Amino acid sequence: MGIDLALLWAIIILFGILMYVIMDGFDLGIGILFPFVPGKEDRDTMMNTVAPVWDGNETWLVLGGAGLLAAFPLAYSVILSAFMLPLIFMLLGLIFRGVAFEFRFKASDARRHWWDKAFICGSVTATFFQGVTLGAYMHGIEVAGRAYAGGPLDWISPFSVFTGLGLLAAYALLGCTWLIFKTEGELHDRMLKLARPLVWTLLGVIAVISIWTPLTHASIAERWFSLPNFFWFAPVPVLVLLAAYYLLRLLPRQPHAGPFVLTLCLIFLGYSGLGISIWPYIIPPAISIWDASGPVQSQGFALVGALLIIPMILIYTAWSYYVFRGKVAVGEGYH
Amino acid sequence: MDFDALMLARIQFGFTISFHIIFPAITIGLASYLAVLEGCWLKTGDRVYRDLYHFWLKIFAVNFGMGVVSGLVMAYQFGTNWSYFSDFAGSVTGPLLAYEVLTAFFLEAGFLGVMLFGWSRVGPGLHFFSTVMVALGTLLSATWILASNSWMQTPAGYEIIDGQVVPTDWLAVIFNPSFPYRLVHMGLAAFLVTALMVAASAGWHLLRRNDTPAVRTMLSMAMWMLLFVAPLQAVVGDFHGLNTLKHQPAKIAAIEAHWENHPGRGTPLTLVGWPDMEAETTHFALEVPRLGSLILTHSWDGEIPALKDFPKADRPNATVVFWSFRVMVGLGLLMIALALWAAWERRRGRLYSSRPLLRFALYMGPAGLVAMLAGWFTTEIGRQPWVVYGVMRTADAVSPHGAFEVGLTLVLFIVVYFIVFGAGTVYILRLIRKGPAAFAPAAPVEGGPGETHTPSRPMSAATEGETRAAPVMDQG
């Protein structure tokens, strides 16, 4: 045999979702933070920091879906039909968020507040239901034969609502530190003040999930707390604490890119933690990536494209960020 | 899954994809048009092209945003609503969709930012390159998604093993029998949609005596496009129809409301009528003897398979596709008429002043979209009752949801789509009403290449005001 196609595809999809969480995370975070910044000029600036890139950021979500369909059609059909309602709520949120970028500047002054609200509600809705879906996914999906066997509302649980709220905190921190990175002046200072409570909130969320999941799922407790796993995975929580410590220390020192980079580390570590808990199940709690694999012919064909093209995508995406590098100043050239 | 939930799921898919298809069609046509405009500007230095580029760029931006968000819905709906289809055929449609994302969506998104906001941040060559990449992305996107759609119409290059589709020959999957016809037909449709939109915008301004060189250039370019593409589309459509006759004869029989053959009398062409699926006849039929044979078999007494040759359960709904097909063809003929009339008036030097012609061009503005949707209904409803033609029935493809959740989400989609895309349409029409203006690059204080600041003016590509230095009205 040689190449483990299922493993490679799992890595590609996990990478795609991570890229999405990070990149659309700060876009959505800006929408979540909008209510804390009432001024129109500041809001213009906030949107301008992501206007040229949000569409590319969102594309990683489409790659996640398409990759899942290509490589693990069973997982795609079961997971998506299990979470039909929260996913459609998320999509509707993303619709309002996405069109607000153009519509907000097109509307008359009297109507603009509607698209501000659409941007806020869209971002919050999309984030919350992504988090809810994540929580429900961790919890597991009932399968009979090759189809989802649960009810339409099985995704609602205290845990999934908590992860929904938790993701709001995570994206808010991403958006906040992104703005520290990309703005200056009053907006920059305001974000510096917001960052501290957000870091503590996110740490709280991570702590609660780290306690909650092993208590309710024996397999997750086994994964983390058995030997020698405990020593292999211990660096994850240790690094979370280190990153948070440096982040909090950095905030009073008029930082720029630093808090954003450290938040990326936090998000990456949290994401890894969830991955460690679930691996190698693609439909928790019982169907592994190998069980859910599509035909070799499909995985192989799509893999060639993914391996050739993803590096090119990363290069021209980086170029696009480079073109729009630097601080977005407040109020300049705008009347 | 009861019947109601299946019907609701079909309505939901039809509703969301019909809305969605409008935006990419305009995106495909406009992106190529923008690439041509920017190319002309760089080659000739004629400011008319630059002004037109920026005028249509704003409309492109609003439209593109709507295409992105409505398209995202499609990528997930296959799983939420059609899980058995995804599990059964995802091995074919999944990799095709993945290639679309990899080669097209990222290309568009990656260069879109520079195209919309980078005019004064990169050099002219690099900006033109970005526009071309976006245009290329739109065409690649259409290619992959139509390969996938065509495979569902005329599946090839696969085996079914353990109840799953397994692709055996990817070239045969992609270049399945109907793919080349559908790709060309749909690509030309996108160009027609855009040309008619551009022509109608120009017509509107000329009718209001806003006669500027930019408006004239718009009309002239659109009419040249129409003159070449509208007749070509008719020829391509004919080939596409013959291809459908070969591979999906039931669809053609339904389109023509052709119930049975009478040996020796050839196949008539029913011009109008009301096909009745229950009574298996066409009420009020107005027929031209033997014309069907001439068109479909290119012979005097050729026969085509008739609806009664197929079991009742395998017949597409003739009432719908009979009429959707006629709407498409009728509008296509009107497009050819518009193109010929415009060519004649151009020869007489009256292209920009013939008010009846301008009014006709204005009314034909939405004709491209309506014809495209009608054609889309024809081919998709004509594929029923199959989701993968001859392989999987639509009724077996749908997710095991109840009518409640499918109905709830359908209502939500309808409400949200009408609010959001209604507002978007209003904004686009408002932009068109303003008309092309002389483009003055935004104050380059912070914007030049190598500058470290991103301009902080509202970064909506559709911002009014900042790109409008002085109206160029009343020049003509």
Quick one: pLDDT band at residue A330, thresholds 50, 70, 90?
A: low
Distance from CA of A21 to the nearest CA of B (A): 16
Question: What is the tens place of the pLDDT at every residue in A14-50?
Answer: 999 999 999 999 999 999 999 999 888 889 999 989 9
**Structure-block tokens of residue A171:** 């994206």
* pLDDT score recorded for residue B442: 55
> For A185-198, what is each residue's pLDDT tens digit?
889 999 999 999 99
Option in B83, B110, B453 nearest A56 (CB): B110
Rounded Cα distance between A49 and B249, Å, is 54
* Chain B residue with Cα closest to A301: B95
Contact state of B427 with A102 under an 8 Å Cβ cutoff: yes
Q: What is the rounded distance in angstroms from the CA atom of residue B412 to the CA atom of residue B435?
A: 35
Q: How far apart are CA A131 and CA A127, in angstroms?
A: 6
Cβ distance B454 to A327 less than 8 Å, yes or no, reads yes
Q: How far is B190 from chain A (nearest CA, A)?
A: 22
Mean pLDDT to the nearest integer, A68-73: 92
Query: pLDDT digits over A109-166, tens only?
Result: 888 889 999 999 999 999 999 999 999 999 999 998 888 888 889 999 999 999 999 9
B389 and B370 Cβ atoms separated by less than 8 Å: no
pLDDT at B441: 63
Question: Residue B462: what pLDDT?
Answer: 57
Residues A46-72 have a mean pLDDT of: 90
Which residues from B are below 8 Å from A302, CB to CB? 94-95, 98-99
A89-99 per-position pLDDT tens digit: 999 999 999 99
**What is the residue range of B155's domain?**
3-256+304-434
Ramachandran region, residue B454 (left: φ > 0; alpha: ψ -120 to 50; beta: rest): beta
Q: What count of other Cβ atoms lies within 10 Å of the Cβ of residue A144? A: 9
Name residue, tokens 């213009």.
A44
**Phi, psi torsion values for B311, nearest 5 degrees:** -55, 150
Measured CA to CA, the distance from residue A293 to residue A283 in angstroms comes to: 11
List own/partner pairs for A238-245 with CB under 8 A and 24 or more apart: A239/A265, A239/A269, A240/A203, A240/A206, A240/A266, A240/A269, A240/A270, A240/A273, A243/A269, A244/A199, A244/A202, A244/A203
* CB A277 within 8 Å of CB A213: yes
Q: Best mutation site among A12, A15, A23, A95 for testing chain B: the one with the most B CBs within 10 Å?
A: A95
Domains of chain B: total: 1
DSSP-derived secondary structure letter, B270: E
What is the C-alpha separation between A7 and B36, in angstroms, rounded? 44
The letter for the amino acid at B372 is: M
The whole-number average pLDDT for the span B363-389 is 94
Whole-number percent of chain A with pLDDT over 90: 64
Verify whether the Cβ–Cβ distance A323 to B114 is below 8 Å: yes
Bridge partners (DSSP) of residue B160 are B165
Question: What is the token pair recorded at B42?
Answer: 């760089």
Please give the DSSP secondary-structure letter assigned to residue B447: T
Hey, which residues 249-288 in chain B have their CB within 8 Å of chain A? none
Q: Tens digits of per-residue pLDDT, A2-16?
A: 689 999 999 999 999
pLDDT band at B3 (very low <50, low <70, confident <90, very high): low
- Express each pLDDT in A273-299 by its tens digit: 999 998 889 998 889 999 999 999 999
Beta-carbon contacts of B153 under 8 Å, excluding residues fewer than 6 positions away, are: B176, B178, B182, B247, B248, B379, B383, B389
| Interchain contact B305–A (C-beta under 8 A) | no
**Which residues of chain B neighbour A301 with C-beta distances below 8 Å?**
95, 167, 170
Contacts of B399 in chain A (CB under 8 A): 77, 81, 84, 147-148
Q: Which has the closest alpha carbon to B22: B324, B368, B381?
A: B368
Strand partners, B158: B167
Yes or no, beta carbons of B111 and A309 under 8 Å apart? no
| A95 inside 8 A of chain B by CB | yes
Question: Which of B61, B102, B412 has its CB closest to that of A306?
Answer: B102
- For testing contact with chain A, the best of B81, B87, B119, B414 (most A CBs within 10 A): B87
pLDDT over threshold 70, residue A1: no
pLDDT averaged over chain A?
90
- Please list every residue in chain A whose beta carbon sits closer than 8 Å to the beta carbon of residue B402: 152
Phi, psi of A185 (to 5 degrees): 75, -145
Q: pLDDT digits over B180-200, tens only?
A: 999 999 999 999 999 999 999
Which residues are CB-neighbours of B273 under 8 A, at least 6 positions away? B257, B282, B283, B284, B285, B286, B287, B322
B98 CB near a chain A CB, below 8 Å? yes
Residue B297 lies in a domain: no
Q: How many CA atoms lie within 13 A of A14 on its CB side?
A: 19
Helix (H) or strand (E) holding B388: strand B386-388
Q: What is the pLDDT of residues A311-326, one digit of tens each?
A: 988 998 898 888 888 8
Q: Say if residues B382 and B251 touch (Cβ distance below 8 Å).
A: yes
- State the best of B63, B66, B86, B103 to mutate against chain A, taking most chain A CBs within 10 Å: B86
CB contact under 8 A, A148 and B400: yes
Residues of A in contact with B103 (CB under 8 A): 305, 309
Q: Is the pLDDT of residue B372 over 50?
A: yes
Q: Which residues lie across from B167 on neighbouring strands?
A: B158
Predicted ipTM? 0.89
| Among B116, B113, B170, B111, residue whose Cα is nearest residue B144 | B170
Q: Could B459 and A317 be called an inter-chain contact, meaning their C-beta atoms sit closer than 8 Å? A: no
Size of interface A-B (CB pairs under 8 A): 304
Q: What is the pLDDT of residues B272-325, one digit of tens each?
A: 889 888 888 888 888 888 888 888 888 888 888 888 889 988 899 999 999 999
Looking at residue B399, what is its pLDDT? 86
Give A-chain residues touching B78 at CB under 8 angstroms: 69, 76, 80
Domain residue spans of chain A: 5-323
Residues facing residue B388 across a β-bridge: B392
Residue type, A139: H
Given CB atoms, is B79 within the 8 Å cutoff of chain A? yes
Interface contact B452-A328, CB threshold 8 A: no
Decide if pLDDT at A333 tops 80: no
Residue appearing with tokens 């045999």: A1
Is it the case that residue B31 has pLDDT exceeding 90?
A: yes
Inspect the interface and report whether the beta carbons of B76 and A309 lie closer than 8 Å: no
Answer whether A214 touches B (CB < 8 Å).
Answer: no
Distance from CA of A34 to the nearest CA of B (A): 16
The C-alpha atoms of residue B347 and residue B413 are separated, in whole angstroms, by 49
List the single residue in B105, B416, B457 with the smallest CB-CB distance to A62. B105
Q: What is the DSSP string of A101-135?
A: HHHHHHS-TTTHHHHHHHHHHHHHHHHHHHHHHHH
What average pLDDT does range B136-145 have in this prediction? 93
Q: What residue type is B252 in one-letter code?
A: I
Give the tens place of pLDDT for each residue, B216-225: 999 999 999 9
With an 8 Å Cβ cutoff, is A313 touching chain B? yes
Peptide bond into A280 cis (omega under 30): yes
Start-to-end C-alpha separation, chain A? 64
Do the domain assignments include residue B470?
A: no
Computed over every residue of chain B, the mean pLDDT equals: 88
Contact indicator for B76, A278 with CB cutoff of 8 Å: no
pLDDT digits over B435-476, tens only?
888 877 654 444 333 344 444 444 555 554 433 333 333 333
What percent of chain A stands above pLDDT 70?
A: 98
